[in-house]
Amino acid sequence: MKNRVTLLDKSFKPFISNEQIEAAIDAVAQRINADFAGCTDVPVLLCVLNGSIIFTGELMKRLDFNCELISMKLSSYQGTESTGKVRQVMGMTGDVRGKRVIIVEDIVDTGHTIEDLVHIVRERGASEVRICTMLLKPEVYKKDIPLDYVAMEIPNDFIVGFGLDYDELGRNFKDIYVLDPEPDYHVEDKSIQTMKYYILFGPPGAGKGTQAAAMAEKYHLCHLSTGELLRKEIADGTALGLQAKALIDKGELVPDEVVEGMIENKFQSTQGVEGFLLDGFPRTTAQAKALDQMLAKRNECVTSVVSIMIPDEMIKERIRHRAAIEGRADDASDETINNRIKTYHEKTEPLVDFYQKAGKYAEIDGTGTIEEVRTQVFALLDTF
């Protein structure tokens, strides 16, 4: 990913990497495939030119049902601003009468284009209309039309790349860049975040602990395990440690703000590393939002979520094996294992959707050997 790109009179800085885009397209394609599984008709994908050409192509490669492709071109942008007036530049290239149609857009902001598109497609006799967009700006989308498939949500900023343009330039970038209103040409890469913040994610038994040490060593990261961090704060007798110990001694749970305080202290006090590997935090969307706020104060953000995924049956098998080796009879019971899996699905798994919408979720198949999984992890981190 380039440190900065210049198009005409504007400068743009890195925003969403190609790997993050591809992961988001994988996820949205899975949802579409699930909804259209076993369909006997031939749904139509309506590619909205020119912006959604690349997204539509990547999406189609991932669809496992028969579908037809047509296109249409409308415009509402001039420069970096939406005019609010949608004009039809090129008519629809195929017939949609009696067919199910998925409108494929690169980005939805005000919703003016979508509103006109839905009206046109229904007027042409489509039996059903669904909308799939690569990007959504929820801050400015105020239309009542539901969006069926959203790959990522972004702030109300002007972006280029992966099909999106600035006065027809920048569509060919494989990554997405955001407009930098105040570029500093005197200090090289001043606006580029140099510190990395990875979140290690996955169900119990996925092998996160096994991979964390290798990740931290190879990429010079500070591995922050919330459990170990908590024990160290207590052992060191810090203010937060004493607060946590008092709660634990009473049999109470350590609240989010205490854990967040410990992590923030670690961010501030750690030197000589190229980033942090968060293991065990965040566990909920509330914690994820708190982490975003914490990093925003440092003018930084989460780099990527590295998710090592395995199926439920493998979770059970690995926990039983680990319990036998470590002599933890309580952790070997089916009831305990099922409760841990249930808690993970209910409380932690919603983070997948949270980070997919942010374009920062990358999933790795954890069913292979330690070495196979590690190869995938390193290949992912090498992209950053």
Does pLDDT of 95 surpass 90? yes
pTM: 0.50
Q: Same domain, yes or no, for 9 and 142? A: yes
Q: Same domain, yes or no, for 221 and 311? A: yes
**Which of 166, 194, 340, 201 is closest to 277 using CA atoms?**
201
Please report the pLDDT score of residue 90 as a whole number: 66
Please say whether the dihedral angle defined by the alpha carbons of residues 283, 288, 294 and 299, taken in this order, is positive or negative: positive
**Residues near 276 by Cβ (< 8 Å), separated by ≥ 6?**
195, 196, 197, 198, 221, 222, 223, 224, 266, 267, 270
CB atoms within 10 A of CB 339: 11
Q: Rounded to the nearest 5°, which phi and psi values hold at 366?
A: -95, 10
Query: Where does the pLDDT of residue 323 fall: very low under 50, low under 70, confident under 90, or very high at 90 and above?
Result: low
CB atoms within 10 A of CB 87: 10
Query: Where does the pLDDT of residue 296 fall: very low under 50, low under 70, confident under 90, or very high at 90 and above?
Result: confident
Kindly state whether residue 131 falls inside one of the protein's structural domains: yes
Please report the pLDDT score of residue 88 as a whole number: 53
Does pLDDT of 339 surpass 90? no
Q: Same domain, yes or no, for 202 and 345? A: yes
Q: Same domain, yes or no, for 174 and 200? A: no
Q: Same domain, yes or no, for 160 and 203? A: no
Locate 251 and state its tokens.
């049999």
Q: Same domain, yes or no, for 126 and 248? A: no
Kindly state whether residue 184 falls inside one of the protein's structural domains: no
Query: Where does the pLDDT of residue 275 fall: very low under 50, low under 70, confident under 90, or very high at 90 and above?
Result: very high
Query: Where does the pLDDT of residue 80 fall: very low under 50, low under 70, confident under 90, or very high at 90 and above?
Result: very low
Q: Same domain, yes or no, for 247 and 375? A: yes
pLDDT tens column, 143-157: 999 999 999 999 888
Query: Chain-wide mean pLDDT for the chain?
Result: 84
Q: Same domain, yes or no, for 117 and 225? A: no
What is the domain range of residue 91?
5-179
CB atoms within 10 A of CB 103: 26
Kindly state whether residue 186 falls inside one of the protein's structural domains: no
Kindly state whether residue 190 falls inside one of the protein's structural domains: no
Q: Same domain, yes or no, for 137 and 243? A: no
pLDDT tens column, 21-63: 999 999 999 999 999 999 999 999 999 988 999 999 999 999 9
Give the chain's domain count.
2
Q: Which of 153, 179, 205 is the last residue of a domain?
A: 179
366-373 average pLDDT score: 90
Kindly state whether residue 191 falls inside one of the protein's structural domains: no
Q: Which of 131, 147, 179 is the last residue of a domain?
A: 179
Kindly state whether residue 106 falls inside one of the protein's structural domains: yes
Q: Same domain, yes or no, for 236 and 156? A: no
Q: Which of 146, 179, 212 is the last residue of a domain?
A: 179
Please report the pLDDT score of residue 187 as a whole number: 37
Kindly state whether residue 204 falls inside one of the protein's structural domains: yes
Q: Same domain, yes or no, for 175 and 202? A: no
Kindly state whether residue 187 falls inside one of the protein's structural domains: no
Q: What is the per-residue DSSP string for 66-116?
A: --EEEEEEEEEEETTEEEEEEEEEE--SS--TTSEEEEEEEEESS-HHHHH
Identify which has the larger pLDDT, 163 or 327.
Answer: 163
pLDDT tens column, 204-233: 778 888 899 999 999 999 999 887 878 887
Q: What is the rounded CA–CA span in Å between residue 239 and residue 329?
A: 35
CATH number, domain of 361, equals 3.40.50.300
CATH number, domain of 160, equals 3.40.50.2020
Q: Same domain, yes or no, for 165 and 300? A: no
